[in-house]
Amino acid sequence: MNEKKRILSGIQPSGDLTLGSYMGAIKNWVALQDDYDCLYCIVDMHAITVRQDPPTLRRRTLEQLSQYIACGLDPKKNILFIQSHVHQHAELSWVLGCFTQFGELSRMTQFKDKSKKHADNITAGLFTYPVLMAADILLYQADLVPVGQDQKQHVELCRDIANRFNGLYSDTFTLPEPFIPKMGTRIMSLGDPMSKMSKSDPDGCVFLMDKPEDIMRKFKRAVTDCEAAVRYDKDAKPGISNLLSIYCTATGKTFEEAEAEFEGQGYGVFKPAVGEAVVELLRPIREQAAELMRDKAYLEGIYKEGAERASYLAEKTLRKVYKKVGFVAR
């Protein structure tokens, strides 16, 4: 019997992978891969909740797979797959949508933010997005969902939906827990430390595939404050605190160690040092991902096998659910 706990997580290929998604999610996935039974997907169905250019979406999906592997996710230890390849996600999502309240979905912060940003195109898909995310998680009976802070609300809604279904039809779904470590789970924009680093803000955002000179430029321009002391204080010094989080997540140092290292030194020394740490962190990832992109047959082998293995597990849950809600067996 397999005794390891199950993990599922995913990232949208709606933009290039960022330092935020690396530090908030992928880095933790890599750390967990030996101790858990892990599935990591590329959620292309989530990506089309806002308009995407089809060739770009296709390219990004493959790039994301190569970057997952380059970040250290071993395709032999983890199931790596593309969400749209496993049809059970859409099917379970429909059923779960019938157990989710309009009011619950209306309260989701990400929906409120995105519908402001895309006010001319607020689709039903954007609204029901968290239901599809719940299907992603519940299909695999995941125990843990490693995500950044911004996704906690969605995982909590997923628990509520699962709880409701279990209450009505007896135990069907494992109740998942969000897994959010202390450091790096909310990386802020370099241009505006009050808002989250996000792929839609290219100047404040570092992408995994950025060239070293671009990374250095972005860090040298990072918004700070006029106190000139490298000290962690999230409220009074959001810019410096964000840079310290990035530096410590990249180097494995504690805040105290980093503060001592830069004591008495100005931001002119600290900002490029953070840039250098990130350049060195990302260099091997960028190089390996570029190499993997040249081997499309290898990538195809990975995502096809991943979809097959994921689909096998997903089907078991879907059958149970269909039976419980009263569908006639095929």
Binding site for ligand TYM (CB under 6 A): 8-12, 20-21, 23-25, 43, 46, 133, 136-137, 145, 147-148, 150-151, 154, 185-187, 196-197
Number of Cβ within 10 Å of residue 170's Cβ equals 8
Q: By C-beta, is 94 or 327 nearer to ligand TYM?
A: 94
User: At closest approach, how far in Å is the CB of 294 from ligand TYM?
Assistant: 25
**What does DSSP say about strands 37-42 and 6-11: parallel, antiparallel, or unpaired?**
parallel
User: At closest approach, how far in Å is the CB of 155 from ligand TYM?
Assistant: 7
Catalytic residues: 114, 196, 199
- What is the identity of the amino acid at 292? L
Q: Report CA 129 to chain centroid distance, whole Å.
A: 15
User: At closest approach, how far in Å is the CB of 156 from ligand TYM?
Assistant: 12
Comparing every residue's Cβ against ligand TYM, the nearest one is 24
Residue appearing with tokens 């699962």: 162
Alpha helices in 22-53 (DSSP H): 27-32, 44-47
User: At closest approach, how far in Å is the CB of 115 from ligand TYM?
Assistant: 14
Q: By C-beta, is 187 or 243 nearer to ligand TYM?
A: 187
DSSP 8-state symbol, 62: H
The sign of the dihedral angle between the CA atoms of 305, 306, 311, 316 is: positive
| CA proximity to 171, closest of 317, 66, 292 | 317
Q: By C-beta, is 85 or 261 nearer to ligand TYM?
A: 85
Q: Is 276 in a helix, a strand, or coil?
A: helix
Q: By C-beta, is 224 or 249 nearer to ligand TYM?
A: 249
User: At closest approach, how far in Å is the CB of 41 from ligand TYM?
Assistant: 7
The sign of the dihedral angle between the CA atoms of 124, 127, 128, 133 is: positive
User: At closest approach, how far in Å is the CB of 119 from ligand TYM?
Assistant: 19
Q: What angle do CA 63, 65, 68 make, to 5 degrees?
A: 110
Q: By C-beta, is 59 or 323 nearer to ligand TYM?
A: 59
| CA proximity to 29, closest of 8, 15, 46 | 8
Helices 267-293, 238-251: axis angle to 10 degrees equals 50
- Give me the DSSP letters along 289-329: HHHHHT-HHHHHHHHHHHHHHHHHHHHHHHHHHHHHHTPPP
Q: By C-beta, is 197 or 274 nearer to ligand TYM?
A: 197
